[in-house]
Structure 1
Amino acid sequence: MDQWFLVMLSNLLHLHNSLDPTTDTLSTTATSSANSTTTLLHSSSIAPLLLFTMASVLSYVASTRTPSSPSNNNRRKKRRRNPNASDYSVAAFRALSTEHIWSLEAPLRDAQWRSLYGLSYPVFTTVVNKLKPHIAISNLSLPSDYAVAMVLSRLAHGLSAKTIASRYSLEPYLVSKITNMVTRLLATKLYPEFIKIPVGRRRLIETTQAFEELTSLPNMCGAIDSSPVKLRSGPSSNPATYHSRYGYPSVLLQVVSDHKKIFWDVCVKAPGGTDDATHFRDSLLYQRLTSGDVAWEKVINVRGHHVRPYVVGDWCYPLLPFLLTPYSPSGMGTPAQNLFDGMLMKGRSVVVDAIALLKGRWKILQELNVGLHHVPQTIVACCVLHNLCQIAREPEPEPWKEPDESGAQPRMLDSEKSFYFFAESLRQVLTEDLHQKLSSR
């Protein structure tokens, strides 16, 4: 019996003695408990009987009370720690998405949706409608739109599975499972639709004309760059291979962007310690370009040379006919070469801005907190969502500031020698044409 109950019973008995002095339940004489009870019941006052009844009831309550277990205490602490969990329930989400949302003006509605899920309501519904048939096959116990909203909230704010689980009143393992499912669907089912090499003539003309307006270089169709994506915790085996040049564990993301900061190729195949050239040579894009699998439809003539569409990169990439790089990273070339380098790097700036925007929009990429096996699909999923937002002309958030780059110029492989000599003459032709074009203005 609890100590608080014994004190209460003692106080009740003292109260009885003061009300009915004819019976002394606290008498020091040696009487049995049965006699004491009989004395109480046969007292001339009603107070002893009333007090005895109250004491019996309190004794029964105290004896049937379930002792508080540590697990119960933990549950109470969790409830106190997460007082607004109901705000993220299915009912609350359903009210927001089906009832309240239509009473708001579109700008206010979409601003509220972006603050929660990183994109506007129309783009959100597009994602849900495209993923819903695939999610339905998995027999998920949660509604499809609710599951997608939960994952987008995690990607947009960089939250861990544990934090999301507490907020949505779910188990962390279930949050991880749903995150893996949704990001895998984005990276596989939606990738072919929203990340495509611009081989069609119409898109090529639009892209190359936009780059030419920016750089005065003809037939440029994209810019390539790599960026380390920081991991919250590196792998236990071969950790040194994952350390980027900036000193933290990471994997390497390679993207090619057009003038609208839309990615038309994404590759995540290497740990962060890999150099850009090696990662590029291991990519599917390199294999397709070197084998002639990509059929560029737009070919122009510059000073008697056939110039096919090409991408531009910095000096960390190999010089190839389809990938032009600067002459010098330090501006030590001729005036014509320095002019070419400046315009080339101006074109390359679009991919730098695109990566900064990607990491600013999907903050989970600032420090990935998913399992290593799910890292590539999570990064690719964010790239797909980035393209969706760019195509829909979503407002651009504050970009993530990348550290200044540094890296050595790659060595030329024997298999690339013929490519290199052709690319060198092509670069020289474009340099002379650019110098003459801008000098005559």
Structure 2
Amino acid sequence: MVEDEQLRSLMFITTYLLLKRRRDLISANIQRRDEIQRRIRHRQYFFQRQRRMLMMMIARGLRSSVHIRTRPWTTTPSSDWWERVVMTEFQPCDWLDKFRMSRETFLYLCDKLRPRLARQDTSFRQALPVEKRVAVALWRLASNIEYRTISALFGVGKSTVCRCVRDMCHAIVALLSSIYLRPPSEQELKDSAQLFGSFWGFPHCVAAIATLHTAIITPSSNASDYYNPAGWLSVFSQVVVSGRGLFWDVCASFPGGTDPADILENSSLWVTAAEGGLSPASTPTFMGKPLRYVLLGEACYPLQSWLMKAYPEEKSRGVSHGALTEPQQLFNRRLSRALRVSEEALLRLRARWQCLSKRNDCGLDVVPTMILACCILHNLCESHGDAFKAEWQGEVSEAESPRPDHKPFLSTCMDQRNAEQVRSLFCDYFQLQSN
């Protein structure tokens, strides 16, 4: 009886284990089959996705070929317009009109910027060639037209146009500043002084300081600081122009309401000029006396031994200064004539790169870099002898706002003690020449 009970227990346990093993095997088979089905569905999904992408590429290619056959070159897809028309059919006048520089200068610029602008192709898209990236950015700087217009013209997204402009401006400042926007050498100082003396009638002078206002959209903060004396929003820049009309120094990114004297006093130019950095190692002579080269400035700047400005008129801001003597009036006329070199340089700058003459819709984080880049491009084009069209100046005069007129700097706290003696020395020189 006991043995029968033990036998039934053993048979029960054996049956249970066999059934459990069977269930485990069935469950493992089901899981294996489900995994196989999942992998099959996964592969089918990617296969169908690749097939759809291939069909879309084929369809896009067919549409492009139809457009190329049916549209004139002015409205063909931009890739064809860029590769077939611009790079092969553009004449020298077309390059000047659209890119404000010759084809040779354009290719030179592309080679210089290639280390910063070149991009690698990815498995999803081909990178834009450096030449096309530079062309997109130059078109924007030269015309200041909307991003969406350039986007349709070149066949790239609006965000790509914005990125091209930003990247090229930063690349120009990083790679070309040391070549085209740098302190002058001793020979360049002598050449500029000779040009000011022979062509502009002001001897012993190497450069002129001027102001540049670039119209902007309303900033998100501190908008009142950006209203200039003319009543419109702008970014204020201080530029130094040589006798050849090239920019030696540019100090940008200040709000339009900033006082010019404050910018000058806090710029590197102030320290450099005060320490004699704008004169040769051996001090030149003028009127038989050793005198460092001087710069010329507008009435809004303080008088320094190295910075000459005009004598104040008889009445300025309600303050009487007395009538000017004949030598003082002659000095003012000669200085006003010599300051035309900076006026003409700024006019050519704004006319060639009209993003500086029309309202610039870029953010404040981009505008200062764009101003520096345009000044460097101005020096590049002038140094390479690229032609300048007179009709560009007409476009500027029609588009831009009235230029701000800064009030004269009347305080004498920043004037140097011997600055008036230096100015009197120039008066004596002009008086002797007029006799």
Give the TM-score taking structure 2 as reference length. 0.74
How many angstroms does 1:226 deviate by? 0.3
Counterpart of 2:424 in 1: which secondary structure? helix
Quick check: 1:198 aligned with 2:194? no
Quick check: 1:340 aligned with 2:325? no
| Aligned 8 A contact 1:216 1:434 in 2 | no
Q: Which residues in structure 2 correspond to 1:9-88 (within 5 Å)?
A: 87=76
Q: Distance in 2 between matches of 1:87 and 1:263?
A: 40
Q: CA RMSD in A?
A: 2.5
The equivalent residue for 2:109 is 127
Any idea what the Cα deviations from partners look like across 1:295-315, whole Å, max 9, x if unmatched? 534632224432211110111
Counterpart of 1:273 in 2: which secondary structure? coil
Q: Percent identity?
A: 26
Q: Distance in 1 between matches of 2:200 and 2:135?
A: 40
Q: Distance in 2 between matches of 1:345 and 1:425?
A: 20
Question: Are residues 298 and 352 of structure 1, via their aligned partners in 2, closer, same or farther at CA, if it must alter by over 3 Å?
Answer: farther
| Aligned 8 A contact 2:279 2:293 in 1 | no
The equivalent residue for 2:319 is none
Counterpart of 2:257 in 1: which secondary structure? coil
Any idea what the Cα deviations from partners look like across 1:25-44, whole Å, max 9, x if unmatched? xxxxxxxxxxxxxxxxxxxx
Question: Are residues 93 and 340 of structure 1, via their aligned partners in 2, closer, same or farther at CA, if it must alter by over 3 Å?
Answer: same
Q: List runs of 5+ in structure 1 lacking aligned partners.
A: 1-78, 102-108
The equivalent residue for 2:270 is 286
The equivalent residue for 1:432 is 428
Counterpart of 2:133 in 1: which secondary structure? helix
The equivalent residue for 2:19 is none
Q: Which residues in structure 2 correspond to 1:409-420 (within 5 Å)?
A: 409-410=408-409, 412=411, 416-417=414-415, 420=416
Q: Distance in 1 between matches of 2:116 and 2:308?
A: 41
2:225 to 206, 220, 241: 241
Q: Which residues in structure 2 correspond to 1:16-415 (within 5 Å)?
A: 87=76, 89-96=78-85, 98-100=87-89, 109-136=91-118, 141-200=127-186, 202-231=187-216, 233-294=217-278, 296-297=280-281, 299-329=283-313, 332-366=323-357, 367-397=359-389, 398-399=392-393, 400-401=396-397, 403=402, 406-410=405-409, 412=411
Counterpart of 1:396 in 2: which secondary structure? coil
| Aligned 8 A contact 1:269 1:283 in 2 | no
State the AA in 1 paired with 2:214: V
Question: Are residues 153 and 87 of structure 1, via their aligned partners in 2, closer, same or farther at CA, if it must alter by over 3 Å?
Answer: farther
| Aligned 8 A contact 2:96 2:102 in 1 | yes
Q: Distance in 1 between matches of 2:314 and 2:386?
A: 37
Counterpart of 2:295 in 1: which secondary structure? strand
Q: Distance in 1 between matches of 2:287 and 2:190?
A: 20
Q: Distance in 2 between matches of 1:88 and 1:434?
A: 63
Question: Are residues 245 and 298 of structure 1, via their aligned partners in 2, closer, same or farther at CA, if it must alter by over 3 Å?
Answer: farther
Counterpart of 1:372 in 2: which secondary structure? coil
Q: Distance in 1 between matches of 2:119 and 2:214?
A: 32
Give the TM-score taking structure 1 as reference length. 0.73
How many angstroms does 1:88 deviate by? 6.3
| Aligned 8 A contact 1:214 1:346 in 2 | no
Counterpart of 1:269 in 2: which secondary structure? strand
Q: Distance in 2 between matches of 1:346 and 1:298?
A: 29
The range that moved more, 403-412 or 177-186, is 403-412
Q: List runs of 5+ in structure 2 lacking aligned partners.
A: 1-66, 316-322
Any idea what the Cα deviations from partners look like across 1:154-191, whole Å, max 9, x if unmatched? 11111122222232232212211111000111122111
Q: Distance in 1 between matches of 2:189 and 2:278?
A: 13
Any idea what the Cα deviations from partners look like across 1:284-343, whole Å, max 9, x if unmatched? 212322344555346322244322111101111111122111112469411001101111
Any idea what the Cα deviations from partners look like across 1:394-431, whole Å, max 9, x if unmatched? 222332347465332325475x45xx112111111111
The range that moved more, 291-300 or 424-433, is 291-300
Q: Distance in 2 between matches of 1:306 and 1:87?
A: 66
How many angstroms does 1:95 deviate by? 2.5
State the AA in 2 paired with 1:100: E
- The aligned length equals 347
Any idea what the Cα deviations from partners look like across 1:363-396, whole Å, max 9, x if unmatched? 1112212111101001111111111111122222
Q: Distance in 2 between matches of 1:295 and 1:260?
A: 17
